[in-house]
Structure 1
Amino acid sequence: MDLDGSKRVFQRLGPAAVTASSSGRDKDNKQQKVCFLWRDGRCDRFPCPYLHRELPPPPPHQSVGNGMGSSKRNSGFSRDDHYVGGGGMRRNSNFNNKWGRQQQQHSHGSNNRGVGKKTDKLCSYWAQGKCTHGDKCWYLHSWSTGSFSLLTQLEGHEKVVTGIALPSGSDKLYSCSKDATVRLWDCQSGQCAGAFNVGGEVGCMLSEGPWLFVGLTNLVKAWNTQTNSELSLDGPVGQVYALVVGSDFLFAGIQDGSILAWKFNVATNSFVPAASLSGHTSAVVTLVVGANRLYSGSMDKTIRVWSLESLQCLQTLTGHSDIVMSVLCWDQFLLSCSLDQTVKVWVATESGNLEVTYTHNEETGLLTLCGMHDLESKPVLLCSCNDNIIRVYDLPSFSERGKIYATQEVRSIQVGPGGLFFTGDGAGQVKVWSWTTESIATS
């Protein structure tokens, strides 16, 4: 498992207008015009006379991350807001009418794997190494269908993995779990490089620059991975479920429905309590920052929009009918998922308020969202569902790209450099995945 630990990566999507380099063969054989069918995820022409790449090409050595530009950070805590995708959510985008438009069309980039099989359900006996049916088994003998490859599986946690992080400047992958431990994994060998007990269930993890934050019950712990210093941030009442950084604030979503904010003091190298944001009537389980706004999702079935300048609530979104499990920013849009079996896409109107512009339906509740780009720099959305499957979709069409299977629910997804990403599931397993140029056939 070869990672570049010095790159800070985010599990959010970058701008829609992502560039990718075109090969010399593309320039020789194709017109310098991008295929609009390819952009919509439904081009089936071979050879196609137009480019299946975006123009213009990017500068060399472009790293994978949110926005897919350079993700290097300085060693301080300060950050900019561009990480959620350029200018954040802009008003009245002409991109709105493309959401889900190819939902019933052929899914570009995927094929009908498992032809002849009775179901696309994972074979539980195969997962345990006990299936004797081989190719004749009616169930899948593969951890994925699509352009993904499982590189390695990291074993050690005894309960659900609740967070995965790659701190800046570190050559270690970090994972946390409800088994009250944080584990370090060597990015070269994939071996566990250490484990320490933090004294209670870990609800979430966040890395920002050299800092690693862990949400516990009634406490947030912070480690500086460069200086090995450790800090304890008091104030939470109950489990800390979500952490995010924005405008030099560290925000924590708490079990009692509050959102606590700390400000980093450079002079004292400490975190000073700054504010407590109240309004949610139940636990805050997801947070994201974008467009100078903080967005919080709660067990009270609502999303609240907060100003990062005044820390006041600007709007309450009530489109979901069950717990809002995950929110993320992509370009000018806010995406949210819920146990109500929907992914909702929100866009700002002329008044500045957010409204639903598209709803994607699943057959089961959703647990978490993660955005990244494939090897062609096309934006994709990973949706972890309650049936232990991660469904991968092209954006904005929501055409299916493939599925990733687990024996228990996947609670954590983290994007890494170079087409890598990581998943953590209810069985305590951390898996390392890579995008591939060819679809993986099941056998």
Structure 2
Amino acid sequence: MDVDGSKRVFQRLGPSSSNSNTNSNNSSFNKNKSQQVCYHWRAGKCNRYPCPFLHRELPMPPQQQQSRMGNGGAGSLSSKRPYGFADDQANMPRRNSNFNNTWGRSQGGGVARKMEKICNYWMQGNCSYGDRCKFLHCWCTNAFTLLTQLQGHQKVVSGIALPSGSDKLYTGSKDETVRVWDCQSGQCGAVINLAGEVGCMLNEGPWIFVGLPNIVKAWNAQTATDLNLDGPVGQVYSLVVGNDLLLAGTQDGTILAWRYNAVANSFEPAAQLKGHNLAVITLVVGANKLYSGSMDKSIRVWSLETLQCLQTLTDHTSVVMSVLCWDQFLLSCSLDKTIKVWAATDSGNLEVTYTHTEEHGVLTLCGMHDAEAKPVLLCSCNDNTIRVYDLPSFSERGKLYSKEEVRCMQLGPGGLFFTGDGTGEVRVWKWLAEPTATP
């Protein structure tokens, strides 16, 4: 960590792109204000009109062609994801050294909160107050509109997948089934009965991976290949792809790795990563590193090259439920009611640069961009709500409500967004260009 006056200077988690501003081109870059993002707009408080700087993120890079495994049974695993923040860190421009100082600084240092509460009687269909009710008669405020509700699962939805090149949506549940939905009609076309609870799901190209007790199932939506990956001990809670490896976090605290063999059309065991002493709940890949969050309250940082643990983060005081990469930052959430923002110092170690506190435990994080390409964070809390925040200011954009807590969120194409809650219901949302209340 460098010290510049009283300011900490943090380095990126990911490599800078070719158009990142370095010391050699800072002067020329600063002259072109029309290509810079407004510092005050980022913090939610620009009052200049017209403003000489951009009031939106720089244009996102075109979606890179994913390297696919299973194109007729061939190919390789890729760590590139089609949606979300994990890809951004290698493509977004480098921030200046005091960028991290804008975390949570909007509204004079506070977080703008909306105190709306959804009407319990309206949810049950029998509110007698109608429009006169002082509570909300809608499933969300601002940000999104509810397109449809998919009902069929009997227990909490724990996985959602949209395989590449398919018009089907796959959802998994603790009711030991995977349901296949037609994306055009919204109808359930098939129910796959499994011999255990679904702990998580992941799609990579045409492949769909399902975490079950003591096994990972792999299906190829294009070739109908059905494989069983043995090795896990207990429930598989998390799955991720990185450096041509499929990685699974398991109940006994081990992270298992498989490598795809295109010739044999099979997944071969590659490694076992040990260090956590309780279940690994969440995994994410960024900057050629693997980040794992566990019930043991810690986050471990692993090298994807050597598969060795580089650092253990112990700032959370309860279960680490979700980790997410965005630009040069790692975000993590916990049942300790906090979201922590981590940044790498010159030494390469991560330190907490900002802590956002919620009123309830935080279950999962999901990142996306709004209609103006501004980064937005979605945080599911155990009060049955999802908070929608601007980044990095943590100014609240709106809320989504559910009958029970949301354990699973997944992004889709064209501004679509999927949630699965404790009742077994899957909801399809779409980002709104203009914020309005949605019935």
TM-score range, shorter chain: 0.7 to 0.9
Q: Does 1:347 align with 2:346?
A: no
Shift of 1:431: 0.5
Partner of 1:222: 218
Q: In the alignment, residue 40 of structure 2 is paired with which amino acid?
A: L
Indicate which of 91, 97, 100 corresponds to 2:101.
Answer: 97
Partner of 2:182: 186
Q: How far apart, CA to CA, are the structure 2 residues paired with 1:365 and 1:145?
A: 21
**1:22-41 correspondence to structure 2 within 5 Å:** 34-41=37-44
Indicate which of 210, 229, 234 corresponds to 1:233.
Answer: 229
Give ranges in structure 2 of 5+ residues lacking alignment: 1-13, 20-32
Is contact 1:140-1:442 (8 Å) kept? no
Q: In the alignment, residue 217 of structure 2 is paired with which amino acid?
A: K
Is contact 2:45-2:107 (8 Å) kept? no
- Compute the RMSD of aligned alpha carbons: 2.8
- Aligned positions, number: 403
Shift of 1:128: 1.9
Q: How far apart, CA to CA, are the structure 2 residues paired with 1:315 and 1:49?
A: 42
Q: How far apart, CA to CA, are the structure 1 residues paired with 2:120 and 2:107?
A: 30
Shift of 1:184: 1.0
Indicate which of 86, 89, 92 corresponds to 1:86.
Answer: 89
Distance 1:294 1:233, change over 3 A: same
Give ranges in structure 1 of 5+ residues lacking alignment: 1-13, 20-29, 63-68, 113-118
Partner of 1:137: 133
Q: In the alignment, residue 87 of structure 2 is paired with which amino acid?
A: V
Shift of 1:77: 3.2
Q: Does 1:53 align with 2:56?
A: yes
Query: SS in structure 2 opposite 1:418?
Result: helix
Q: TM-score by structure 1 length?
A: 0.85
Q: Does 1:319 align with 2:318?
A: no
Q: Deviations over 1:145-182 (max 9, x none)?
A: 11210000111111000011111111111110000010
Q: In the alignment, residue 55 of structure 2 is paired with which amino acid?
A: H
Q: TM-score by structure 2 length?
A: 0.85
Q: Does 1:43 align with 2:42?
A: no
Is contact 1:91-1:347 (8 Å) kept? no
Q: In the alignment, residue 264 of structure 1 is paired with which amino acid?
A: Y
Q: In the alignment, residue 99 of structure 2 is paired with which amino acid?
A: F
Distance 1:405 1:46, change over 3 A: farther
Q: In the alignment, residue 98 of structure 1 is paired with which amino acid?
A: T
**1:40-439 correspondence to structure 2 within 5 Å:** 40-43=43-46, 51-55=54-58, 57=59, 62=62, 69-70=63-64, 72-74=66-68, 75=71, 76-80=75-79, 83-87=86-90, 93-102=97-106, 104=108, 120-439=116-435
Is contact 1:84-1:289 (8 Å) kept? no
Is contact 2:15-2:287 (8 Å) kept? no
Q: How far apart, CA to CA, are the structure 2 residues paired with 1:309 and 1:347?
A: 21
Q: Deviations over 1:211-251 (max 9, x none)?
A: 10000000100001110010001111100000001111111
Distance 1:263 1:88, change over 3 A: farther
Q: How far apart, CA to CA, are the structure 1 residues paired with 2:90 and 2:54?
A: 27
Q: How far apart, CA to CA, are the structure 2 residues paired with 1:195 and 1:48?
A: 54
